[in-house]
């Protein structure tokens, strides 16, 4: 068990200075999610226009893995159509179960080490589940 497999530099960089942290003034779809087994929370906002996520921002309480994952996710889905964003989420889930998909936003690959720490997978997937929920809410609104 190598800690450096989990805590790679790129993950720590995202954790230390999360990208897309904060909230939009108005016009965003908001999803609140938590991980009831450990108390991690995320409030994710998606600015959506015509089936495209223009931007995403988040506020969260959580460990390095959950914050870094949210930071990467909000970068990765920026400007993506819903189906593209959902495909990235699906690839992320596949990576969490041991597959080795490629990501256009390469930082995400660093989270593959989480699979060696099964107790931490839920930390990594929280923000991705919030994003999927956000798309669902947007689609229901239309």
Contacts with other proteins, residue ranges (CB under 8 A): 1, 3, 6-7, 9, 12, 15-16, 37-41, 61-66, 117, 119-120, 123
CB of 21 to other proteins, least distance (A): 15
**Measured in whole angstroms, how far is the alpha carbon of residue 109 from the centre of its chain?**
13
- Which DSSP string corresponds to 59-121? EEE--HHHHHHHHHHHHHTTTEEHHHHHHHHHHHHHHHTT-----SSGGGGGGGGGGG-GGGH
Q: Kindly state the smallest distance separating residue 30's Cβ from other proteins, in Å.
A: 19
Nearer to other proteins, 24 or 117 (CB): 117
Give the nearer residue to other proteins in terms of CB position, either 68 or 85.
68
CB of 106 to other proteins, least distance (A): 20
- How long a stretch of residues is the chain? 142
Minimum CB distance to other proteins smaller for 34 or for 138: 34
């Amino acid at each position: 068990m190598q800690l450096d497999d989990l805590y790679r530099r790129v993950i720590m960089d995202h954790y230390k200075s999360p990208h897309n942290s904060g909230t939009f003034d108005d016009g965003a779809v908001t999803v609140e999610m938590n991980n009831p087994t450990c108390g991690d929370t995320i409030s994710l906002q998606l600015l959506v226009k015509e089936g495209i996520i223009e931007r995403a921002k988040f506020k969260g309480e959580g460990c390095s893995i959950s914050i870094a994952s949210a930071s990467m996710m909000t970068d990765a889905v920026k400007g993506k159509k819903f189906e593209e964003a959902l495909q990235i989420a699906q690839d992320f889930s596949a990576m969490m179960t041991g597959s080795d998909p490629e990501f256009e936003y390469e930082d995400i690959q660093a989270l593959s080490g989480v699979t060696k720490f099964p107790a931490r997978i839920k930390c990594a997937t929280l923000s991705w589940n919030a994003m999927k929920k956000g798309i669902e809410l947007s689609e229901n609104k239309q």
